[in-house]
Amino acid sequence: MGTVLYYFTFICYHFSMRRARLTYQGAFHHCMNRGHGGEMIFSGEKYKRLFLETLEKWSQRLKIRILAYCLMDNHYHLVIENSSGRMADFFKQINGEYGTVYRRLNGGKGYVFQGRYQSTVIQDEGYLLMVIAYVLANPVRSGLVADFEEYSWSSFGLYFQADPPDWLDCQLVESLYGTRRELVRHVRAWQIDKKSLPVMNTELGRVIATEEGLPVMRERFDRRSGRESVERKRGDDFGFEPIAKIFQEFSGKYDLDTEKLDYSTHRGKRYRWELLVYLKERGGLKYRELAMMPEFSDVKMSSLGKMYSDGKKWLTKKVK
């Protein structure tokens, strides 16, 4: 019994101490994940296409901007913007969905990916230029091709084209480099020199930044969207219910995950109206605090008042 209690305590402590990733809405990231144990999870064209389809689907659903990608045989590289604040959901979906289909098609058991995805925050557009070039040069650095333009499974061939895919933000990448020639020049420099990215390890994770830029990034992280930060701010308020309790009861009432609802549907809108009323009246949240939450990240703060009124009318009608 004592041994069981020891391991239970250790596990609870371990998970409670796991650090939050350094991110915030609008942050740029270089992300990577490998096949578990080095498994060649993208070894054929079929699997690479399947992953790209999964990437397209969830980037559009969760409104995560994809700037660049490179698929190798046993890992992937992505350059993204956490544009909706839902980066964690995004990687949970793409890794989970691809992993499930991969095992069904390929057989085998166990994990497909090597744990949590690796994420590095990029300070600004100057470093973003560097990271995109590094990612596109990866096939040369790994010895797969002699020149990066020969590799079919990166996003390079989609930039500066007349009809780019709508899920890849070619416009931003093209504006950063200016011309295709300049993009090629940057990538060639990285494939020749084979340098590593200047990553710093901080208490909140990996960053590509200057020492001077770190305080700004930490401040943005501290003001990040999410109910955790709102919960922390309102911990001493008197007379209101805990935010976590409201979410738990609401999710249990309808058997749903509020962060995964499609709020563009009629049903999704009704649920969000009701949730907003509960958070405001039972939780005592102000509109600026509601605007910090993932469930309302796509709503202007000036529109939350009307949403609250609509929710009140809906609930009144529902009760009658």
pLDDT digits over 32-46, tens only? Answer: 999 888 889 898 899
- With 90 as the cut, is the pLDDT of residue 150 above it? yes
Q: Does residue 182 sit in the same domain as residue 251?
A: no
172, 195, 222 — which closes off a domain? Answer: 222
- Please tell me the total number of residues recorded for the chain in this structure: 320
173, 198, 222 — which closes off a domain? Answer: 222
Q: Does residue 128 sit in the same domain as residue 63?
A: yes
- Residue pair 33/117 in contact by the 8 Å Cβ criterion: yes
Residue 17 is assigned to a structural domain of this protein: no
Closest CA to 118 of 184, 189, 22, 190: 22
Residue 21 is assigned to a structural domain of this protein: no
Residue 3 is assigned to a structural domain of this protein: no
Q: Does residue 252 sit in the same domain as residue 173?
A: no
> What average pLDDT does this structure show over 6-10?
35
Write down the pLDDT at residue 222: 63
Write down the pLDDT at residue 19: 52
Give the model confidence (pLDDT) of 168-183 as tens digits: 999 999 999 999 999 9
Q: Does residue 252 sit in the same domain as residue 103?
A: no
Write down the pLDDT at residue 15: 36
Q: Does residue 238 sit in the same domain as residue 200?
A: no
Q: Does residue 65 sit in the same domain as residue 214?
A: yes
Q: Does residue 156 sit in the same domain as residue 244?
A: no
Residue 244 is assigned to a structural domain of this protein: yes
Residue 9 is assigned to a structural domain of this protein: no
Residue 197 sits in which domain range?
Answer: 28-222
222, 239, 273 — which closes off a domain? Answer: 222
CA distance 276 to 261: 14
Domain count, the chain: 2
Q: Does residue 215 sit in the same domain as residue 231?
A: no
Q: Does residue 131 sit in the same domain as residue 260?
A: no
Q: Does residue 214 sit in the same domain as residue 172?
A: yes
Q: Does residue 300 sit in the same domain as residue 152?
A: no
Residue 70 is assigned to a structural domain of this protein: yes
In DSSP notation, 136-182 reads HTHHHHTTS-SSGGG-SSBSGGGTT-SS--TTB-HHHHHHHH-SHHH
- Long-range CB contacts (within 8 A, 24+) of 218-223: 218/22, 220/24, 220/26, 220/27, 221/22, 221/23, 221/24, 223/24
Residue 10 is assigned to a structural domain of this protein: no
Give the model confidence (pLDDT) of 85-112 as tens digits: 888 889 989 998 999 998 888 877 778 8
Q: Does residue 205 sit in the same domain as residue 285?
A: no
Residue 236 is assigned to a structural domain of this protein: yes
CATH number, domain of 126, equals 3.30.70.1290
